[in-house]
Chains A and B, each alone.
Chain A
Amino acid sequence: MWMLSVVARALEPGERAVVLGDIAESGEGFVAAACDLLGLIVRRQAAIWADWRPWLALLGVAGLAGVPLSRIVFGLNAGIGLQLRTYSKYGVWYDTGVTTQQEIVCVLCTAIALMAWSWACGFVLGSLSGRAVWITWYLFYQVVLHATWARFVLSGDIFLKDPRPLRLLILLAVPLPLSPASIPLFLSSLLGALHGASRRALSVSGAYLTCVVVVSLTILTFWTGGWHETAREVWSGGLWHGSAWVTRLPPFLFISWPAAWLVATAQRETA
């Protein structure tokens, strides 16, 4: 029965109690009861997806914000990984052209901003998806973790040495935070999703505060990210030109839009 109780958590509390009571009273076997319960859960989930909100969550957050966020996560993981590998192998830090202090500030800014973006994205996912939050959050997390490297693999820029399809598939499907950048992403987005699903909207002051934090961290990350561009230009003696700020800006706007949504919905709640 405890296993059925765990599965039944996908239902609303009132309905959960009634259905578990029905199962206990009817004395059904485990398999029949599990089939009954799963059947109801599937029907309830299907009914949720008849609404436009979970789709907006999926396309707007997992798609629009998730894909550029994936680049940030990939870059952060690659940057930290490169430094750690170089230090453990050669005992020195990898020279990216910026000072150590700048490197630390850059990584910290990106990591903190990643937490803020993930929380805001998670909150919007939760508030829009309701009971479908686990599905939309899982898909968002998968998109953010895998979209960038999957694109590199598909375009032939990265080769997998020993793909072992089944092992790779299991590793990819299980939402475990196994890389440095995936830890803040996992925790913040999950926390935001749970808050969003339970509260649905922030207070006006809370929404404005979140928006200011997200925008400030976005500006800081955008600005500190430019240090590497400048360093590369200097290193190349002016032969290499980094991306103009106009082309670097749109992904940051897409990542930050959930913060604007929080403000918009908070205002609507009080109107």
Chain B
Amino acid sequence: MLGEFEYLLLGAAARLGDDAYGVAIRVEIEGATKRRCSIGALYTTLDRLEAKGLVVTWMGDPTPQRGGRPKRMVRVTGKGIREAKAFYNAVSRASRGVSWA
């Protein structure tokens, strides 16, 4: 079962598609949660997801905007999509009949 932050990261990476990398994923997560996402949390979680085979990462091309430094690109794997779906379904089932309002 995924953790909450792992799910947020997978969701952000899936939404961004080919443009998924560190800064873009942070912006997505911060937009969704309205909370700050630290670089430490992002990259340690990304490593964990990669070790589980839920994402693959690789070094992108350097850009002038980044001072000539590369991006760490992210792609969600088939296993990652299945795990995210399972998490979403579990949360949906757990929320059925519950009104938080």
- The answer to whether A and B belong to the same complex is yes
B66: chain A residues within 8 A (beta carbon): 21-22, 24-25
Q: Decide: A18 near B59, CB < 8 A? Known: A26-B26, A37-B39, A47-B44.
A: yes
Q: Is the CB of B43 within 8 A of A40?
A: yes
Chain A nearest CB: distance from B55 CB in Å?
Answer: 15
- Which of chain B's residues has its CB closest to A33's CB? B39
Alpha-carbon gap, A44 to B40, bound state (A): 8
Task: Tell me if A220 is interfacial: C-beta within 8 Å of chain B.
Answer: no
19 extra interface residue pairs, beta carbon distance < 8 Å, beyond A21-B62, A21-B70, A25-B63:
A1-B67, A14-B59, A15-B43, A17-B69, A18-B22, A18-B59, A18-B69, A19-B22, A20-B67, A21-B71, A22-B26, A22-B39, A25-B65, A26-B23, A37-B39, A39-B38, A42-B40, A43-B44, A47-B44
CB–CB B65/A22 < 8 A? no
How far, in angstroms, from A37 to B41 measured CA to CA in the complex?
Answer: 11
Closest to B36 in A: A32
Cα–Cα, bound, A24→B44 (Å): 20
Residue with the highest number of chain A CB atoms closer than 10 Å, among B23, B26, B39, B71: B39
| Residues on B with beta carbons closer than 8 Å to the beta carbon of A41 | 40
Q: Please name the residue on chain B nearest to A20 by beta carbon.
A: B69
Interface size on B, residues (CB 8 A): 19
In the assembled complex, the CB of A7 is this many whole angstroms from the nearest CB of chain B, namely 13
Closest chain-B Cβ to A35's Cβ sits at a distance in Å of 8
| Residues on B with beta carbons closer than 8 Å to the beta carbon of A47 | 44
B residues near A, CB below 8 A? 22-23, 26, 38-41, 43-44, 59, 62-63, 65-67, 69-72
Measured CA separation A22–B69 after assembly (Å): 9
- Of chain B, the residue at the smallest CB distance from A32 is B36
Given A19-B43, A40-B44, A43-B44: A24 and B69 within 8 A (CB)?
yes
Q: Which of B23, B41, B59 contacts A25 (CB 8 A)?
A: B23
Note all chain B residues with C-beta closer than 8 A to A18. 22, 43, 59, 69-72
Report which residue of A25, A40, A47 has the largest number of chain B beta carbons within 10 angstroms of its beta carbon: A25
Q: DSSP majority for the A interface?
A: helix
A contact residues around B59 at 8 Å (CB): 14, 18
Show 29 residue pairs from A and B whose CB-CB distance is below 8 angstroms, ordered by the A residue. Answer: A1-B67, A18-B71, A18-B72, A19-B43, A20-B69, A21-B63, A21-B66, A21-B70, A22-B39, A22-B66, A23-B39, A24-B65, A24-B67, A25-B23, A25-B65, A25-B66, A26-B23, A26-B26, A35-B38, A36-B38, A36-B39, A36-B40, A40-B38, A40-B40, A40-B43, A42-B40, A43-B41, A44-B44, A47-B44
Residue of A nearest to B44 (CB): A43
Residue on B with the closest CB to A47?
Answer: B44
* CB neighbours of B62 from chain A (8 A): 21
Nearest CB in chain A to that of B66: its residue: A21
Task: Write the nearest CB–CB distance from B76 to chain A, whole angstroms.
Answer: 19
B22 near A22 with CB under 8 A, answer: yes
Q: Which 6 A-B pairs have the closest CB atoms?
A: A21-B69, A39-B40, A21-B66, A40-B40, A36-B39, A24-B67
Task: Type the 1/0 row for A196-223, where 1 means its CB is closer than 8 Å to any CB of B.
Answer: 0000000000000000000000000000
Q: Across the interface, which residues of A come within 8 angstroms of B43, CB to CB?
A: 15, 18-19, 40
Chain A residues with CB under 8 Å of B23's CB are: 22, 25-26
CB distance from A251 to the nearest CB of B (A): 42
- In angstroms, how far is the closest chain A Cβ from the Cβ of B20? 13
Least CB distance from B10 to A in Å reads: 19
